[in-house]
């Protein structure tokens, strides 16, 4: 896994609860880039122009929105799996990425040393990355 891929996984973990906001924000940006006016609508009858349909198509076809939605669904599955099968990983994920606790707080709360925290983090990120890249993955984490 490259450093860029590692950072991407971390970005989605940190922003899991903000994905709906990011999607809405992106949709708003796309809508704002298309000026829908009466003249544009009338012109669209004979020619292609900036219509409401153009806005909808741009939103549906937007790769970033698609990516956000894919990660949202994927992370829900990962969270369910970790909660049920690997509660230590789930607890770490929740503390680190959802509650933004630093490593010292996590060490105290989980009662494990700093080396194990680092290992836990790396294994978690690697697992998420690996599962994201497997089509129709089966959640089976050997740790």
Please say whether the dihedral angle defined by the alpha carbons of residues 33, 14, 4 and 124, taken in this order, is positive or negative: negative
What is residue 98's DSSP assignment?
I
User: Which pLDDT tens digit goes with each residue over 79-95?
Assistant: 999 999 999 999 999 99
The answer to whether residues 107 and 121 touch, using CB atoms and an 8 Å cutoff, is no
Per-residue pLDDT band at 143 (split at 50, 70, 90): very low
Please say whether the dihedral angle defined by the alpha carbons of residues 138, 127, 62 and 65, taken in this order, is positive or negative: positive
User: Which pLDDT tens digit goes with each residue over 37-95?
Assistant: 555 555 555 555 556 666 677 777 778 889 999 999 999 999 999 999 999 999 999 99
Assigned token pair, 75: 């992370």
Nearest of 131, 129, 104 to residue 117 by alpha carbon: 104
pTM over 0.85: no
């Amino acid at each position: 896994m490259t450093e860029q891929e590692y950072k991407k996984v971390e970005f989605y973990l940190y922003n899991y609860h903000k994905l709906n906001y990011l999607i809405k924000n992106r949709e708003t940006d796309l809508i704002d880039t298309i000026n829908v006016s009466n003249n544009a609508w009338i012109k669209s009858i004979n020619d292609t122009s900036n219509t409401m349909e153009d806005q909808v198509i741009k939103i549906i076809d937007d790769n970033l929105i698609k990516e956000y939605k894919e990660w949202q669904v994927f992370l829900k599955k990962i969270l369910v799996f970790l909660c049920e099968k690997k509660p230590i990983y789930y607890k770490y994920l929740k503390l680190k990425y959802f509650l933004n606790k630093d490593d010292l707080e996590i060490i105290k709360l989980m009662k494990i040393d700093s080396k194990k925290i680092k290992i836990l983090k790396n294994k978690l990120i690697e697992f998420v990355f690996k599962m994201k890249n497997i089509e129709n993955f089966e959640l089976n984490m050997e740790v």
